[in-house]
């Protein structure tokens, strides 16, 4: 479970409910079916108009992605794998890695490994893998765009809901107390629109973009590693080349592990 998503949604709800309580606004005012219909159904309608059904079908999967921790190989582990493979290649040749292919769980890495073992030209391997990454990045961009657009529509629909509520409230001004309650209820739609837009949809879009960026960086790292193995570079060189994808903290940890491994061998 992705804890940051749960914490974020929880804090957003607490902020609104606690804020209303401190301001003396009744929480029961949020029980406004009309406002929810206008915002939720209206946002859904806008998405159906703006996106093809083939992309909207991915909506549940995209929601799941932000609540479930994505399984990606740690970058330090990727470097260790490539160093091991580079060592095997220099000792026994590239074909010796064929026995390792079925052990690779990552489909992108497995396909890339098969390409270099099959003896494909290095430029071809690079082009195919980079095109795969570009296609993946485009799919991720389209998914994030659904939520960023929803975040843009929802607050505007909140204003629409408030206008509809005011029209209904001002239709009968004979009872001022009833009118005051009706005006207050009208602005609930604005609250829901802003909350869903800026606390849910836009942050979800941002998280999907961040997840995509992490995956793309990892795959670019794999491409460099595969091409380095195909070129027959040393384990030291491949370590230095792939370490540029790590943060300074990750590099220090990797260096410490390497030093510990050397001490143990000694």
Residue 212, both tokens: 């995509």
The pLDDT assigned to 260 comes to: 56
The pLDDT assigned to 232 comes to: 87
Residue 202, both tokens: 């836009």
The pLDDT assigned to 258 comes to: 60
pTM surpassing 0.75? yes
Q: What is the pLDDT along the chain (266 residues), one digit of tens a residue?
A: 788 999 999 999 999 999 999 988 888 888 889 899 999 999 999 999 999 999 999 999 999 999 988 888 888 889 989 999 999 998 888 888 888 888 888 999 999 999 999 988 999 999 999 999 999 999 999 999 999 999 999 999 999 999 988 888 888 777 777 777 788 888 899 999 999 999 999 999 999 999 999 999 999 999 999 999 998 888 888 988 898 888 888 787 777 766 555 455 54
The pLDDT assigned to 72 comes to: 86
Three-state secondary structure string covering 90-152? HHHCHHHHHHHHHHCCCHHHHHHHHHHHCCCCHHHHHHHHHHHHHHHHHHHHHHHHHHHHHHH
The pLDDT assigned to 74 comes to: 87
> Distance (Å, rounded) from C-alpha 12 to C-alpha 3?
14
Residue appearing with tokens 């001004």: 173
- Name residues whose C-beta falls within 8 Å of residue 18's C-beta, 6 or more positions apart in sequence: none
> Distance (Å, rounded) from C-alpha 16 to C-alpha 7?
14
> Distance (Å, rounded) from C-alpha 65 to C-alpha 61?
6
Rg (CA), the chain: 27
> Distance (Å, rounded) from C-alpha 37 to C-alpha 43?
9
């Amino acid at each position: 479970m992705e804890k940051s998503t749960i914490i974020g949604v929880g804090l957003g709800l607490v902020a609104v409910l606690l804020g209303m309580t401190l301001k003396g606004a009744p929480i029961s005012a949020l029980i406004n079916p009309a406002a929810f219909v206008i915002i939720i159904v209206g946002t859904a309608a806008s998405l159906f108009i703006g996106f093809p059904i083939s992309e909207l079908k991915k909506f549940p999967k995209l929601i799941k992605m932000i609540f479930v921790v994505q399984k990606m190989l740690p970058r330090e582990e990727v470097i260790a794998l490539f160093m091991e493979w580079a060592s095997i290649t220099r000792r026994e040749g590239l074909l010796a890695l064929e026995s390792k292919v079925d052990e690779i769980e990552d489909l992108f890495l497995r396909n890339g490994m098969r390409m270099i073992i099959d003896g494909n030209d290095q430029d071809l391997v690079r082009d195919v893998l980079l095109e795969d990454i570009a296609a993946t990045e485009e799919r991720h961009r389209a998914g994030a765009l659904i939520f960023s657009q929803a975040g843009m529509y929802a607050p505007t629909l909140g204003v629409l809901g408030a206008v509809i509520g005011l029209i209904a409230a001002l239709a009968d001004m004979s009872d001022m107390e009833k009118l005051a309650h009706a005006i207050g209820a009208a602005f609930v739609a604005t609250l829901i629109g802003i909350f869903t837009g800026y606390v849910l949809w836009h942050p979800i879009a941002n998280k999907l973009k961040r997840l995509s960026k992490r995956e793309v960086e990892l795959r670019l790292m794999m491409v460099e590693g595969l091409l380095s193995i195909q070129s027959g570079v040393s384990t030291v060189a491949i370590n230095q080349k792939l370490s540029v994808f790590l943060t300074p903290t990750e590099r220090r940890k990797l260096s410490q592990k390497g030093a510990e491994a050397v001490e143990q061998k000694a």
